Amino acid sequence: MIYCDEIVIPANTLRTSPIQTQLDVVEGVVARVWIRWRWGSANLAGCAIYRGGFQVWPTTGSRWFPSTLFDTVFDESYVVGDEPMHFILKSFNEDTRFAHRVWVGMSVLRPHYSQELMGLMSYLNTPGKEI
Protein backbone atom coordinates (compact mmCIF):
# COMPACT_ATOMS: atom_id res chain seq x y z
CA MET A 1 0.00 0.00 0.00
CA ILE A 2 1.30 3.44 -0.85
CA TYR A 3 0.55 6.38 1.41
CA CYS A 4 1.41 9.87 0.20
CA ASP A 5 0.74 13.56 0.53
CA GLU A 6 1.73 16.70 -1.30
CA ILE A 7 2.56 19.54 1.04
CA VAL A 8 2.40 23.22 0.11
CA ILE A 9 4.96 25.05 2.23
CA PRO A 10 4.22 28.78 2.52
CA ALA A 11 6.96 31.35 1.94
CA ASN A 12 8.92 32.34 5.06
CA THR A 13 8.29 29.09 6.94
CA LEU A 14 11.35 28.91 9.18
CA ARG A 15 13.31 25.81 10.21
CA THR A 16 12.59 26.71 13.80
CA SER A 17 8.82 26.58 13.24
CA PRO A 18 8.15 24.20 10.34
CA ILE A 19 4.67 23.27 9.19
CA GLN A 20 3.55 19.79 10.26
CA THR A 21 1.47 17.40 8.19
CA GLN A 22 0.18 14.06 9.45
CA LEU A 23 0.52 11.03 7.15
CA ASP A 24 -1.65 8.16 8.40
CA VAL A 25 -0.46 4.60 7.69
CA VAL A 26 -1.46 1.05 8.63
CA GLU A 27 0.37 -1.65 10.55
CA GLY A 28 3.21 -3.09 8.50
CA VAL A 29 6.74 -2.44 7.33
CA VAL A 30 7.76 0.74 5.52
CA ALA A 31 9.67 -0.71 2.58
CA ARG A 32 10.36 2.41 0.51
CA VAL A 33 10.24 6.19 0.97
CA TRP A 34 10.01 8.81 -1.79
CA ILE A 35 10.56 12.55 -1.50
CA ARG A 36 9.96 14.60 -4.62
CA TRP A 37 10.29 18.37 -4.77
CA ARG A 38 8.36 20.33 -7.34
CA TRP A 39 10.44 22.41 -9.70
CA GLY A 40 11.74 25.79 -8.54
CA SER A 41 12.53 25.36 -4.86
CA ALA A 42 16.26 25.93 -5.49
CA ASN A 43 17.45 24.27 -2.27
CA LEU A 44 15.47 26.76 -0.18
CA ALA A 45 13.21 24.18 1.46
CA GLY A 46 13.55 21.01 3.51
CA CYS A 47 11.57 18.12 4.90
CA ALA A 48 12.06 15.64 7.77
CA ILE A 49 9.91 12.69 8.86
CA TYR A 50 9.01 12.04 12.51
CA ARG A 51 7.07 9.38 14.40
CA GLY A 52 6.17 9.41 18.06
CA GLY A 53 8.06 12.65 18.64
CA PHE A 54 11.36 11.33 17.23
CA GLN A 55 13.00 12.01 13.90
CA VAL A 56 13.03 8.86 11.75
CA TRP A 57 14.38 10.16 8.40
CA PRO A 58 16.91 11.47 7.73
CA THR A 59 18.36 9.23 10.38
CA THR A 60 20.86 11.88 11.39
CA GLY A 61 18.84 13.91 13.89
CA SER A 62 18.18 17.60 13.27
CA ARG A 63 19.00 17.25 9.55
CA TRP A 64 16.60 17.79 6.66
CA PHE A 65 16.10 16.35 3.20
CA PRO A 66 16.96 19.41 1.09
CA SER A 67 14.86 20.47 -1.87
CA THR A 68 16.61 19.31 -5.01
CA LEU A 69 15.98 18.58 -8.68
CA PHE A 70 16.41 14.86 -8.03
CA ASP A 71 14.05 12.52 -6.20
CA THR A 72 15.20 11.12 -2.87
CA VAL A 73 14.24 7.44 -2.87
CA PHE A 74 15.44 4.78 -0.47
CA ASP A 75 14.55 1.29 0.66
CA GLU A 76 13.79 0.78 4.33
CA SER A 77 12.62 -1.87 6.81
CA TYR A 78 10.93 0.32 9.40
CA VAL A 79 8.25 -1.55 11.38
CA VAL A 80 5.01 0.25 12.26
CA GLY A 81 3.36 -2.07 14.74
CA ASP A 82 1.96 0.16 17.45
CA GLU A 83 0.62 3.65 18.06
CA PRO A 84 1.03 6.21 16.68
CA MET A 85 -0.13 4.89 13.33
CA HIS A 86 1.07 7.97 11.50
CA PHE A 87 4.17 9.97 10.63
CA ILE A 88 4.59 13.72 11.02
CA LEU A 89 6.14 15.44 8.00
CA LYS A 90 7.89 18.64 9.07
CA SER A 91 8.71 21.10 6.29
CA PHE A 92 10.27 24.53 6.02
CA ASN A 93 10.70 27.06 3.21
CA GLU A 94 13.25 29.88 3.44
CA ASP A 95 12.07 31.46 0.18
CA THR A 96 10.73 34.89 1.11
CA ARG A 97 8.54 35.19 -1.97
CA PHE A 98 7.12 31.86 -3.15
CA ALA A 99 5.48 28.81 -1.63
CA HIS A 100 7.01 25.44 -2.58
CA ARG A 101 5.68 21.90 -2.81
CA VAL A 102 7.03 18.55 -1.70
CA TRP A 103 5.48 15.14 -2.35
CA VAL A 104 6.23 12.42 0.22
CA GLY A 105 5.27 8.79 -0.31
CA MET A 106 5.75 5.55 1.63
CA SER A 107 5.22 1.96 0.58
CA VAL A 108 3.93 -0.05 3.56
CA LEU A 109 3.89 -3.84 3.29
CA ARG A 110 1.02 -5.35 5.27
CA PRO A 111 1.77 -8.40 7.42
CA HIS A 112 0.35 -11.65 6.11
CA TYR A 113 0.49 -15.12 7.54
CA SER A 114 0.66 -18.41 5.73
CA GLN A 115 -1.72 -21.27 6.52
CA GLU A 116 1.18 -23.31 7.92
CA LEU A 117 2.09 -20.59 10.39
CA MET A 118 -1.54 -20.18 11.44
CA GLY A 119 -1.76 -23.94 12.02
CA LEU A 120 1.40 -23.89 14.13
CA MET A 121 0.12 -20.95 16.19
CA SER A 122 -3.16 -22.78 16.78
CA TYR A 123 -1.29 -25.90 17.86
CA LEU A 124 0.96 -23.95 20.25
CA ASN A 125 -2.06 -22.24 21.81
CA THR A 126 -3.80 -25.57 22.56
CA PRO A 127 -3.74 -26.26 26.33
CA GLY A 128 -1.78 -29.33 27.45
CA LYS A 129 0.60 -29.47 24.46
CA GLU A 130 4.29 -29.89 25.23
CA ILE A 131 6.99 -28.55 23.01
Domains in the chain: boundaries: 2-124
Exposed/middle/buried for residue 67 (C-beta within 10 Å: 0-12, 13-18, 19+): buried
- pLDDT for the residue numbered 40: 84
pLDDT reported for residue 16: 95
| H runs (alpha helix) in the chain | 115-124
At residue 111, the pLDDT reads 76
More confident: 131 or 86: 86
Q: Is residue 112 pLDDT above 80, yes or no?
A: no
Report which of residues 116 and 24 the model is more confident about: 24
From the options 2.60.120.380, 3.10.100.10, 3.40.50.2000, 3.40.50.970, give the CATH code of 2-124.
2.60.120.380
Give the C-alpha distances (Å, rounded to integers) separating 2 from 20, 70, 110.
20, 20, 11
CA distances from 84 to 22, 36, 60, 78 (A): 11, 25, 21, 14
> How does pLDDT run across 76-98, given as a tens digit for each residue?
999 998 999 999 999 999 999 99
**pLDDT tens-digit profile of 14-52?**
999 999 999 999 999 999 999 999 988 889 999 999 999
